[in-house]
A and B are shown apart, each in its own frame.
Chain A
Amino acid sequence: MKDLSLYILDIAMNSVRAGARHIEIRLEEADHLLKLTVKDDGCGMTAQQVERLSDPFFTTRKTRKVGLGIPFLRMLAEMTGGGVSISSKPESEGEGHGTEVEATFRTDHIDFIPIGDVSETLLTLIQGNPDTDFCFVHKAKGTDVCLDTAEMRKILGGDVPLNSYEVLSFIREYLRDMYDQK
């Protein structure tokens, strides 16, 4: 994958597939260290599943025998001198279930790739999952972006889906404005 925004889309899709209703995506940059957090309230995983997650030959899907999402993310993070840590609580253990993936990257490392267009990643997620709450935060020097679809849904009322074209276009411009603001 050519930029970090595609990795973020891929990891957030795991949360979608886990049946999450609320997905939080955070990007925090300071002192050449970038921290990415994707946190959900989905079905979670057992300790055994978490342990096997970085094994490319582990997947729960039926259409192919490999699962490369987490291995890709781990490879990129470790190449830059960072790492990935995952904590999860399965549904079977009751309340508070879900998964949190945290990846760190050294942005001054030669193997670090551009962050890319995170807005397009968010739009793709919202388009495909209009009923899921996405909370996005990007904090860095000169950047302070925040988007909460739950808040938007309140203003829109129950009749206008978040993935109608008019709303998606608004979100695109809204994010662009926030990114352009210095």
Chain B
Amino acid sequence: MKSLAELAAIREQMKDKVALRTGSGAVRVVVGMATCGISAGARPVLNAFVEEVSKEGLTDKVMVTQTGCIGICQYEPVVEVFEDGKDKVTYVKMTAEKAKRVVEEHLKGGKPVGEYLIGNTKL
């Protein structure tokens, strides 16, 4: 049985790490979390990004955040990737599986996954 006291240990472990993290987030992954996103399956997509970004050791570079409805509800779940000095990348009709590939090939490998982009997706 987990106890809240374990948080004290996490606090201790993270003492040095946290200092490093502030000012991080050169890449921002933004998941749409309004009614449209949620009903289309955005929750597992968001949680997959959080999980995979951490597993791949990208937390210092990549920040995963949420936003409301951006107005293209028919394409939800929508994920936007913002990176300094680069054009915004918009992924549509996302799933947790697709999120894994985006983390691997785009966030880690630097190459957007073409087939999931809004320009290459038919409704």
Mark A residues whose CB is within 8 Å of B.
1, 6, 9-10, 13, 17, 61, 63-64, 67-69, 72, 120-121, 123-124, 127-128, 151-152, 155-157, 159-161, 164-168, 170, 173-174, 177, 181
For B1, what are the chain A residues with a Cβ–Cβ distance below 8 Å? 177, 181
Could you say which of A64, A123, A156 contacts B11, with CB atoms under 8 Å apart? A156
Contact (Cβ within 8 A) A124 B43: yes
Contact (Cβ within 8 A) B39 A6: yes
A-B Cβ contacts below 8 A, count: 96
Contact (Cβ within 8 A) A159 B50: no
Q: How far is the CA of A161 from the CA of B14 in the complex (A)?
A: 10
Chief secondary structure at chain A's binding surface: helix
Q: How far is the CA of A18 from the CA of B8 in the complex (A)?
A: 32
Number of contact residues on B: which range applies? Answer: 35 or more
Q: Which of B35, B39, B54 has its CB near the most chain A CB atoms (within 10 A)?
A: B35
Contact (Cβ within 8 A) A127 B66: yes
Q: How far is the CA of A68 from the CA of B55 in the complex (A)?
A: 36
What is the distance, in angstroms, from B27's C-beta to the closest C-beta of chain A? 16
For A13, what are the chain B residues with a Cβ–Cβ distance below 8 Å? 33-35, 38, 68
